[in-house]
Structures are given as C-alpha cells and as structure tokens.
C-alpha cells in the first residue's frame, strides 16, 4: 500500500501529482479504496440521525469524495493526454463502475430528502447568496439525475447512465485508434508545397512509424490542415481529407455508427424518464439558452449571412481555379488550398510570412503578459514539479505576489494524446476548509519542431492557445468557497465566455510579442495591418463549417421518437434543409464528433460556442469603448464578474453586472465580417 502514491499524502510542491511515481497499476487499487471511502462518507450523511442542516448535509457532501476526485483527475487527464493500452483498459473497466457509483448517490432517496428539506425549510436563513446557490445547485443536480423518479424508473435510469458511460469511452478510444492507424506515406513529389514546419512534422511521423517514404501524415487536425492548405497535389488533398472525414465510419473495428444511434436512443429515453420531450429540451433547461428554440434562434440569425458569404467565397475560389486554367469544379479538398492562394493574392500575406513571428514561446509569453496586465498575475517556471511527459512545462502562478496555483502547458501532438485542444484540472480551487489552490492544465496538438528548432504557430493555432489559456484563467482565478461552484463549473453556454473573450488579446499583443525567430525584429506594422485587414477573410466558410455541426448536433438531440433516430439520415436531412454547400464539410463529422459522443459534455450544446461568442464580442467591446484593451476598471469588472465567481451567481445577472446591460449580437456579426 505504501508503494502506491494514492495512499499517502503527496510530499511535492503544492501537493502536485507525483507523476514520477505514478504507474498504471496504481489506479485500480486507488479507485477501489477511494470508492469505498466515498460510499462510507455518503452513507454517513444519508443516515445521520440529526436534523438535516446545511453543515451536516451540503458541506458534508462538499467534503466527501476527495480521495476519489484526486484519483479521477489524475487518471482521466492521463487517459486523454498520454494514454496507453493499460490505461485504456482501465478506462473501459471503470466507466460502468463510476457511473453506477455516482448514479447511486443521486438516486439515494434518504440523501435527496435531506437536501430537499433544507431547501424548503432553511434556504432563506442561509448567510449569503453563495450558500443559497450551492444548495440550489445540489437540489437541481439530484433532480436532473433522477432523484424524484419511482424505483422502477430509477433502476432504468441507472442502467442507461452506465451504458452511456461505456459507449462514450468506446467512442473516444475508437477515434484515437483510427487516427493512429491512418498513417499515409508521402513521396517528395506528393509533399510539394508543404512549408518547412509541415515537412518537419511529416518527416518525424514517417520516422516514428518506420516508413521508407520521406514523409507521412495522419488523420489528426494539425497534420490534415497543413496538407489541405499547402499541398499542390489534388490527389493527395483528396486522400487526406477522405481519411480525416471518414474517421469512425470506415467499416473497421473502430466504426462508431452503431454506437451513435445507440447513444442517441439512450439519451432520448433518459430525457423522457425525466419528463422532457427530447434530450435537447432536457440538456438546455439548465443553460442560459433555456430551450432548443432559443439556441436555434441565435444560430439562425448567424446562418443566413454566413451562408451568403460562403457562397460568395465559393464563387471567388472557382474563379481562381478558372483563371489558373483548371477544368474542374471546386471540391471540399480544394477549399483551403485555393483560399490560402486567394488570401496571398488579395492581402499579400500567407502563413509562411506570419509563422516566423509566432513562435510558441512568444505566444505563451504574450498570453502570460496579457493576464499580468489584466489581472495582476505573474508566472514563474517550476522545474521541481513532476510531469507525465517531458514536453509538459509547469509555472507557479502568483497574483499580486501571492501564489494562486500551478499552470501546466502540454502543447505538442503525439500518438498517445487525443486530438483537439482543451483545459482540465488536477485539482480545483476552494476555500471550504482553508484555501486549496488549483492545478490547471492546457492541452494542444501543435506540430513539434525538430530538435533545437522553435515551434511555430499559424494564426488559428495562436488563437487556440489564447482560447485555452482563457479557460485556464477561469480555473486559476476562481475565488469561491464551495468546490461545486468553482472555476469552470458553470453553464455550458457560459463556460466559453472566459476562453473566447481572451482570444481578443492575441491581436492586441502582436505589436510587442510577435518577433521574428531569426532576426528578433518585431512584426512590421504593415504585416500586422494586413493581418487585421484579412481578419474577415474566409469567415463564411469558417462560420458555415461550425454552424453545420451545431445544427446537426441539435437535430440529433431534438428527436422525440426513438423510431426516428437514424444518425446518417438526420445528417443528410440537416444538410439538405440548411442547403450547406457540398464544398464545405462539417467541422466535425458525426462519427468522430467527440464533443457530443465522447461523453455528453457538449451533447445538444455545441451551439454554446456561438452563444458565448455573442457574450465575448459584446464583452470585449467594453474595452474598445473605454479606449484601452487593458483599461483597469473594465479589467477589474471582468475579474470580479466573470473570471473569479465560478458558478456562484446567475449567469445573465453577472454578465449584466459586468457590461451594464444585456448582450447584443451586433458585435459578433461585425467581428465575423457578417454585419
């Protein structure tokens, strides 16, 4: 037992996870012990003979499960960031176990009776809004998890939850396996057009896989987009896009199509058990949008101008093909390639000019500096904190000289990491029993450079870095009492506000942090001006690409009759109804749409990025109106009303307090060039 780091107190700085000692075989016994401990804690709360009170029930619940959270946070971060066959086996094994465990808690009648009694009899006597808010959240959490169902319904609810946990894990693992197995060798001729950064990554991938060819790409986004943007060969672009788009539906062992249908049917059944017409109605009842109709209304407002712009862009690209003497119609695999050519022609700018000024280290420094000027943070490298992979870097974060947490940055793609970019935590902030500092991590999938060379980012990747760091700041700046309300534990369509508003400081910081990796000269003003002038370029494509996935997600989860659930048919009907141009594929084809099928995090909620963009565009306009992107008073309100409050306040009210009014969609449309 003493050899297992989960059974002892961690003697590391900040009690950070001792990754140098944690091995896969430690997790099963750690989970087993933590589950036993949590069960005993829950039994003690539910069977407490004393009159239910906030302290002996709600605070006791907040203190329970600490050992389990510690194991979960470490395990699931590793399962996403640096997995292997042992961790994947444990992940599949634990999915139903953990589902049964938490479902049993939420369906515990004695426990819910205590919570409900406190809510009915003592809520108004609680000392402040935060106490009332956490009580409200617990009661609603239990109700939405089936606490008011009868015994037969509870049993079925538990069965559904367990099966969904298994299917979500299988879905995610299948997508990762498909990406790993989709290795496409490229000859020197086939790689023509690829810039140096893409060639370096492709050379390394070929070497890692023992290929005779000089280059190779796989079906990860960083690899695919470089080929689609720069490769001269239409045949190569078609092959790579086909591999990207077909992930999860190739008829192999990783085919996710049957899982999709089963997941959708189970989600609908769960929602109907709880009295909702559809899963979308259930999911959105606890968001800012409240209803699928409200979410669709926003998407509709953006869709019409975006579709118009996308059709104009399509015609412009077709004209470029014709000018080149091409005797073919623009295809989906051509769009990025010809869009990049048109951007170079129209604005005299391309990524190969820009990327030498956007080194990873410089963009990290720019993000850190923005956080310093806005919120008084400073970042100090810590080389004594154990990490799970040599690429991970750690900083101690201080605010006005006082430590507020640790920030882990894991930026490079590898075969053991799932695709995309995300923020997570090894520990969340709270102050229920003294200050507990957060341990926050950002994961990205940037191409790793050759040894000794700097990593370079394109504009989208740099924005992604700022986006995920905005999430990280939401976790690091959390200043709440109760764990249930800490950091990113907020409504789905509010959680993207802190991340998306921080993206605006990417352009703000270019003047001082974009320096050429060789000459160290700052990015010329003419180039920065070109970047800003090109800001709206190809926004029709980008918006339609995103909104198409958001509409399909909503259509999947708005079905009210299980007999109508046929994912491929629904996808086709959505595309037809929306008149999505065939040249613009969905940003996420359903069979690899991890946001909505790899767990239910964004199920019926992919719209949330657009909802939050209304808030972030309108919110950043407050700095524009103040005449200073670092205006102290506006920054103070941003901290006090957005970044530090977690889920302690009503979301509409807290945004209104920050902005002085309700949000308006105008800034979003202007920001995308769709006004």
Of the candidates 99, 42, 97, the residue with the CA atom closest to the CA atom of residue 65: 42
CA–CA separation, 412 and 201 (whole Å): 11
93 included as an active-site residue: no
What are 221's two structure tokens? Answer: 């986004």
Backbone angles phi, psi at 425, to 5 degrees: -140, 150
With the CA atoms of 7, 12, 14 and 18 taken in that order, what torsion angle do they form, in degrees rounded to the nearest 10?
-60
Q: Are the CB atoms for 478 and 507 separated by under 8 Å?
A: no
What backbone torsions phi and psi does residue 215 show, to the nearest 5 degrees? -135, 160
- DSSP string covering 620-658: HHHHHHHT-TT-HHHHHHHIIIIIS-TTSS-HHHHHHHH
- Euclidean distance between CA atoms 654 and 640, whole angstroms: 9
C-alpha 622/C-alpha 658 separation (Å) is: 9
Residue 588 Cα to chain centre, angstroms? 13
- The DSSP letter of residue 353 is H
Q: Which spans in 274-291 are helix H?
A: 279-284
For residue 441, list its beta bridge partners: 408, 424
**Comparing C-alpha atoms, which of 578, 586, 577, 655 is closest to residue 616?**
655
Set 62, 170, 340, 468: catalytic member: 468
Q: Are 648 and 480 in contact (CB under 8 A)?
A: yes
DSSP letters of 31-97? HHHHHHHHHHHHHHHHT--SPP-IIIIIIHHHHTTHHHHHHHHHHHHHHHHS--HHHHHHHHHHHHH
User: Per DSSP, what are the bridge partners of residue 186?
Assistant: 215
Query: Active-site residues: which are they?
Result: 468
């Amino acid at each position: 037992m003493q050899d297992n780091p989960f059974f002892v107190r961690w003697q590391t700085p900040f009690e950070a996870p001792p990754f140098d000692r944690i091995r896969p075989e430690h997790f099963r016994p750690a989970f087993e012990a933590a589950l036993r401990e949590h069960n005993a804690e829950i039994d003690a709360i539910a069977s407490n003979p004393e009159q239910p009170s906030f302290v002996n029930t709600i605070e006791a619940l907040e203190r329970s499960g600490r050992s389990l959270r510690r194991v979960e946070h470490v395990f699931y971060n590793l399962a996403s960031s640096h997995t292997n066959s042992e961790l994947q086996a444990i992940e599949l094994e634990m999915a139903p176990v953990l589902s049964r465990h938490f479902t049993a808690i939420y369906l515990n009648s004695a426990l819910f009776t205590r919570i409900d009694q406190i809510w009915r009899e003592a809520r108004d006597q609680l000392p402040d809004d935060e106490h009332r808010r956490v009580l409200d959240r617990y009661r609603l959490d239990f109700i939405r998890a089936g606490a008011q169902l009868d015994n037969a319904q509870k049993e079925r609810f538990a069965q559904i939850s367990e099966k969904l946990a298994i299917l979500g894990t299988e879905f995610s693992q299948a997508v990762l396996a498909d990406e790993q197995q989709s290795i496409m060798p490229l000859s020197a001729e086939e790689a023509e057009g690829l810039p140096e950064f893409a060639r370096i990554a492709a050379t390394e991938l070929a070497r890692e896989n023992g290929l005779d060819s000089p280059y190779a790409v796989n079906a990860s986004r960083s690899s695919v987009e470089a080929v689609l943007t720069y490769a001269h060969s239409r045949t190569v672009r078609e092959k790579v896009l086909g591999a990207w788009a077909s992930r999860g539906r190739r008829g192999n062992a990783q085919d996710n199509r049957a899982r999709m249908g089963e997941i959708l049917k189970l989600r609908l059944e769960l929602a109907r058990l709880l009295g909702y017409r559809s899963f979308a109605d259930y999911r959105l009842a606890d968001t800012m949008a409240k209803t699928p109709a409200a979410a669709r209304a926003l998407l509709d407002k953006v869709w019409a101008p975006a579709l118009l712009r996308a059709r104009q862009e399509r015609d412009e690209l077709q004209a470029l093909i014709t000018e080149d003497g091409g005797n073919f119609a623009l295809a989906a695999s051509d769009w990025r390639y010809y869009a990049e050519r048109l951007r170079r022609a129209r604005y005299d700018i391309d990524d190969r000019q820009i990327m030498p000024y956007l080194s990873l280290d410089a963009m990290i420094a720019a993000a850190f500096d923005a956080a310093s000027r806005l919120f008084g943070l400073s970042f100090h490298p810590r080389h004594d904190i154990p990490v799970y992979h040599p690429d991970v870097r750690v900083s101690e974060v201080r605010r006005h000289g006082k430590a507020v947490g640790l920030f882990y940055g894991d930026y490079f793609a590898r075969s053991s990491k799932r695709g995309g970019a995300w923020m997570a935590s090894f520990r969340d902030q709270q102050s229920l029993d003294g200050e507990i500092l957060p341990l926050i991590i950002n994961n990205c999938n940037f191409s790793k450079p050759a040894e000794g060379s700097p990593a370079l980012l394109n504009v989208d990747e740099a924005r992604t870095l700022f986006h995920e760091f905005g999430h990280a700041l939401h976790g690091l700046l959390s200043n709440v009492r109760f764990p249930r309300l800490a950091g990113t534990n907020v409504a789905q369509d509010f959680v993207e506000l802190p991340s998306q508003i921080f993206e605006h400081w990417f352009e703000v910081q270019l003047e001082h942090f974009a320096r050429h990796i060789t000459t160290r000269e700052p990015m010329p003003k003419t180039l920065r001006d070109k970047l800003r002038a090109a800001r709206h370029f190809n926004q029709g494509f980008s918006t339609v690409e995103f909104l198409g996935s958001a509409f399909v997600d909503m259509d999947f989860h708005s079905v009210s009759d299980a007999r109508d659930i046929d994912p491929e048919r629904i996808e086709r009907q959505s595309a037809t109804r929306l008149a999505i141009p065939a040249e613009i594929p969905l940003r996420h084809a359903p069979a690899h749409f991890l946001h909505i099928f790899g767990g239910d995090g964004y199920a019926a909620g992919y719209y949330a990025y657009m909802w939050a963009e209304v808030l972030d565009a309108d919110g950043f306009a407050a700095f524009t109106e103040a005449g200073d992107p670092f205006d102290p008073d506006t920054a103070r309100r941003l901290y006090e009303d957005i970044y530090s409050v977690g889920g302690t306040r009503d979301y509409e009210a807290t945004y209104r307090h920050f902005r002085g009014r309700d949000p308006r969609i105008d800034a979003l449309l202007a920001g995308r060039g769709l006004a």
